[in-house]
Structure 1
Amino acid sequence: MPRYFFDICYGSTFARDPTGSECDGMVAVRDEAVRALPAIARDEIPRGGDRQAFTVLVRDENDITVYTATLMFTGLWIGDSPLPEPEEEPLG
């Protein structure tokens, strides 16, 4: 079964998949990418602000990109709602 590598990009972060996953065809490749995006967003949206994009770039065994998918998040404060103060990063 062919191996595909699911590289992740969000903000200034680019994480290259070193091990990959075996997928039985292109539908399985797409399904894997689609499953990965919400999981990444769930962890990163709370600490990343109101405008974010999360992208999965899928490479085949020959290092050729065969599929890409992007999930966008946009939040907007409405009306007289005060903008929240940014939280300070914990020291450590």
Structure 2
Amino acid sequence: MARYFFDFHDGEMHRDPVGQECEGPDEVRSEAMHALPAIAKEKVPKDGNKQAYTILVRNERNVTVYTATLTFAGIWLGENEPPIEEQAD
């Protein structure tokens, strides 16, 4: 089995220093697909309504072999929109 490193990007790069062994491309893809929402759920933006989360998978030669991106986009609709604060002149 080969070792792959699952780096995470959310505006800042978080490099995986340890990695994990995977049997091949299908397992790499599966691990990325499961890890991405789990990591992103802990990082939902608290001061905005848009954020992209990306996993970049590197092989043992430090070559990126797979990427996956999950995007969060929140939109206020109608009556649920928060009140606009008036600015002081």
TM-score bucket of the superposed structures, by smaller chain: 0.7 to 0.9
* Range 63-72 or range 75-84, more displaced: 75-84
Distance 1:84 1:57, change over 3 A: farther
**Is residue 8–residue 15 contact of structure 2 (8 Å, CA) maintained in 1?**
yes
Larger Rg: 2
Q: Equivalent residue of 1:19, what SS?
A: coil
* Range 32-41 or range 61-70, more displaced: 32-41
What's the % identity of the aligned pairs?
54
Q: Equivalent residue of 2:43, what SS?
A: helix
1:24 and 1:32 mapped to 2: Cα distance? 11
Deviations for 1:42-87, whole angstroms, at most 9, x for unmatched residues? 10115353101000000000000000000011010011333279xx
Deviations for 1:23-57, whole angstroms, at most 9, x for unmatched residues? 00000000010011111111011535310100000
Give the TM-score normalised by the residue count of structure 1. 0.83
What's the CA shift for 1:8? 0.2
**Is residue 45–residue 51 contact of structure 2 (8 Å, CA) maintained in 1?**
no
1:84 and 1:46 mapped to 2: Cα distance? 20
Q: How many residues align?
A: 84
Superposition misfits of 4+ residues, deviation over 3 angstroms: none
Task: Name stretches of at least 5 consecutive residues in structure 1 with no aligned partner.
Answer: 86-92
Q: Equivalent residue of 1:80, what SS?
A: helix
Give the TM-score normalised by the residue count of structure 2. 0.86
